[in-house]
Homo-oligomer: A and B are copies of this chain.
Amino acid sequence: MDIIGTAAARVDGVAKVTGQAEYASDITVPGMLCGKILRSPHPHARILSIDTGAAEGIPGVRCVLTREDFRDRNPWFSGRIQDHPIVALERALFAGQPVAAVAADHEAAAEDALRAVAVEYEPLPAVVGIEEAVAGGAPRIHESAPGNICFSDRLEKGDVAAGFAEADTVVEDTFTFPMVYHYAMEPHVAIAKVDAEGVTVWSSCAHPFGVQLELAHIFDLPLSAVRVIIPYVGGAYGSKSGAKIEPLAVALAQKCGRPVRVAQNVSEAMMTVRRHSALCRVRTGARRDGTLVAKQAEVFLNTGAFAELGPVVTSRTLTRILGPYRIPHIRVESHCVYTNTVSAASFRSIGGPQTAWANESQMDILADRLGMDPLEFRLKNLLHRGEELKPGGKPLDADLREGLGQVTRRIGWDGPVAASGAGRGLAFGVTDPGAPLASTSTVHALSDGSVVLHIGTSEIGQGSRTVMSQIVAEELRVPLDQVRVRPPDTAYTPYDRSTGSSRSTTVMGKATQLAAADAREQILELAMEHFEAPREAVELADGEARAAGQSVSYGELIRRHFAMQGGEIVGCGYAHSGMATAPANPLFWEIGIGAVELDVDRDTGEVRLQRYIMAADVGKALNPLQCEGQDEGAAMMGIGHALMESIEYGDGQILNPNLVDYRVPGFENLPATFESILVENGDGPGPYGAKGMGEGGIIPVAPAVANAVFRCTGARVKDLPLTPEKIWRAMRNNDEGQA
């Protein structure tokens, strides 16, 4: 292989660093209006009346959209549970929920109109936290959900009571994980146009075809009448999975008969989507020798006002709370809980960090109780390749000891620490990312030798255009700079399920590999005809066919075949249900491992990260530099969750809906040593044995840090983030306990 496995420079690097790359917020559609959203000031309120008269009278205001516009038509986002209206109907369910929207010639008029819409509310009691929401007598948020339980799921294996009876040591802990924000650099932007052709949306979303499908359902159109165009996307991390502001933009455009642009700022984006906060009660039992015998867990996820992806995240926690360990007796219950808060949805490794935070923290608590080294304890219980992790699911497809060994050797697990008083911690993140199938790719070989790839994968910063170009260049035997990837446009680009679930390189990469191979076979046939030579006598390399000492460019082969006037060869590849082997779920296991060395300021409780070593078991790193970038980016995000991030609510309102009060990590928060290890065994179902990555790196950070804090201070914090105050208090409590 020539190009696969090399750290090829990003094909979009120059366009991005020179500011020429076009994002949704750069797009201007002729005649487009400015759309603005009026949001509920109350976390829960009955809407008694909405008077739009004054707003509509403001010069430049073109229309005001309210629940009145949905009297005779579907107000619901598509989805399994129809609980999410485009604008609030009878009640507003969280502070920040869209209640009305305006479209105006310019921003000032739109903002004046927002102030002029008169909404009469009757405030209702609201709940923000999980425990409040499920308590008896709590106000019911949706009629359909008694006890505010939106969805529950469970997993059982063996006999958990018998298991605990066998245990010599049992620990039981409750862990909490806060609401966190994605902080994609680019907040949500959508421009909608409605005309005789149907609906066209330019969007910052990550899933062009997912949004197309949702809009087709909402507005009752065939797929071919909904066009979603995605330029570069400035980060997503799940915040742009599926429709967010697109249905509202379309409804506005439809009402006023003009294109409408809705661009949110960071505060609005924080009122649009977040990660599920969680409360996990975990009970684990082990024999004296460290053998795990039983695990029981209860997981509550705060999904906010609407279900969105909550049920899927809930089911995913069932296995994610187990960790990659051999446990004969298991019982897990997970509940998705409605609250009067911003709706939660996808976020890099759905349900992963929340559950690993609980389980990997408790693994160290249990090891400590057993008097065992955390590494030794994990190694004793770690699953081997081919063992079952998820009952009925695909057996483990990786050698976890290999990556763990590399990480612990690199961190020097048993050696001396660099700084006096420092400690080390480690944790696993092994998850079933889902990675749904359904990708179609077409590769177009043009008559001048240039090659164009059509894929529905959005370039959200992950480097998909680069890695897909590498796949095409490798398969088609052309130089990388002859390949160009077009941005997704559902009017032209073939279908792709989504840009998420760590699936693009594996699933769309497979489709692209097959598409390029299809094009290569067609070119090979042309070359055989041209040279009048058998297959084995023809070599393809560097965009040329060669035989018997002669060569002819692909371009010339194509021109000749099409009678010397141009022409184009199209290769098509599919990733479909035939790609998965039974059991098909998950398509692959995603493996992240992290180990940290840190010390804690004994006076302030501040954590100072010294070294962080991570490993991702990627099957095959098609572009190692990009894999490292993904893994390091994920770990950096994990550092934020570990140490500082939390959306804080007070009186039903977000107290820190901005990037001054909501802090994310910066370069100053990076440990001095920050290293990524890629484990490559070619054991993935993707092209060249690749499996998905980019999510696993976020998972182990918080428990590894908490475990290290415990190991150097004896203080155990079970509530993220690990702020200096919490650690200081925990240390003081320990000191008092000892005193």
Contacts and interface: CB of A to CB of B under 8 A. Distances in A.
A471 interface: no
A414 to B, nearest CB: 46
Most-contacted residue by chain B among A438, A482, A491 (CB, 10 A): A438
Contact of A576 (B491, B492, B567): B567
Most-contacted residue by chain B among A28, A195, A196, A567 (CB, 10 A): A567
A450 interface: yes
Nearest to A561: B576
Contact of A568 (B15, B440, B482): B440
Nearest to A15: B196
Interface stretch (A216-224, A404-412, A661-669): A216-224
A442 B492 CA distance: 10
A493 interface: yes
Nearest to A489: B492
Contacts of A437: 562-563, 565
Contacts of A584: 563
A451 interface: yes
Given A28-B30, A561-B576, A566 B493 contact: no
Interface string A401-422: 0000000000000000000000
A31 B27 CA distance: 11
Interface string A479-517: 000101010010111110100000000000000000000
B491 A486 contact: yes
Contacts of A440: 567-570
A511 to B, nearest CB: 10
A81 interface: no
A484 B492 CA distance: 11
A738 interface: no
Nearest to A438: B562
A20 B195 contact: yes
A572 B494 CA distance: 13
A550 interface: no
A565 B446 contact: no
Nearest to A486: B491
A288 B224 CA distance: 67
Contacts of A20: 195-196
Contact of A224 (B27, B196, B225, B446): B446
Interface in A29-44: 29-31
B495 A493 contact: no
Contacts of A562: 437-438, 495, 497, 574, 576-577
A30 B576 CA distance: 40
B454 A492 contact: yes
A478 to B, nearest CB: 12
A21 interface: yes
B576 A224 contact: no
A566 B213 contact: yes
A347 interface: no
Interface string A9-22: 00000110010110
Given A30-B28, A196-B15, A223-B448, A438 B493 contact: no
Interface in A442-460: 442, 444, 446-452, 454
Contact of A442 (B18, B222, B442, B574): B442
Contacts of A28: 30-31
A493 B494 contact: no
Contacts of A567: 438, 440, 495, 574, 576
Contacts of A452: 224, 491
A592 interface: no
B577 A495 contact: no
A499 to B, nearest CB: 14
A375 to B, nearest CB: 39
Interface residues of A, number: 60
A628 to B, nearest CB: 27
A209 interface: yes
Given A438-B566, A561-B577, A572-B572, A446 B495 contact: yes
A440 B495 CA distance: 20
A311 interface: no
A436 interface: yes
Contacts of A15: 196-197
B196 A18 contact: yes
A557 to B, nearest CB: 11
B223 A447 contact: yes
A574 B572 CA distance: 14
Nearest to A14: B196
Interface string A559-601: 0111101111110101011001000100000000000000000
Contacts of A14: 196
Given A438-B562, A442-B570, A570-B572, A450 B222 contact: yes
A570 B493 CA distance: 11
Nearest to A446: B223
A208 to B, nearest CB: 11
B451 A224 contact: yes
A676 to B, nearest CB: 30
Contacts of A222: 446, 448-450, 482
Nearest to A491: B486
A501 to B, nearest CB: 11
Contacts of A442: 442, 570
Nearest to A196: B20
A209 B566 contact: yes
Nearest to A27: B30
Given A224-B446, A224-B450, A450-B222, A568 B495 contact: yes
B565 A438 contact: yes
Contacts of A494: 444, 568, 570
A223 B30 CA distance: 28
A486 B565 CA distance: 23
Contacts of A491: 452, 486, 492
Contacts of A30: 27-30
Nearest to A484: B224
Contacts of A224: 446, 450-452, 484
22 contacts: A224-B484, A225-B450, A436-B563, A438-B567, A440-B567, A440-B568, A444-B494, A447-B495, A452-B491, A486-B491, A486-B492, A491-B492, A492-B493, A494-B568, A497-B565, A497-B566, A560-B577, A561-B577, A562-B574, A563-B580, A563-B584, A567-B574
10 tightest CB-CB pairs across the interface, nearest first?
A: A28-B30, A495-B568, A492-B492, A438-B562, A20-B196, A224-B450, A222-B450, A437-B563, A224-B484, A438-B567
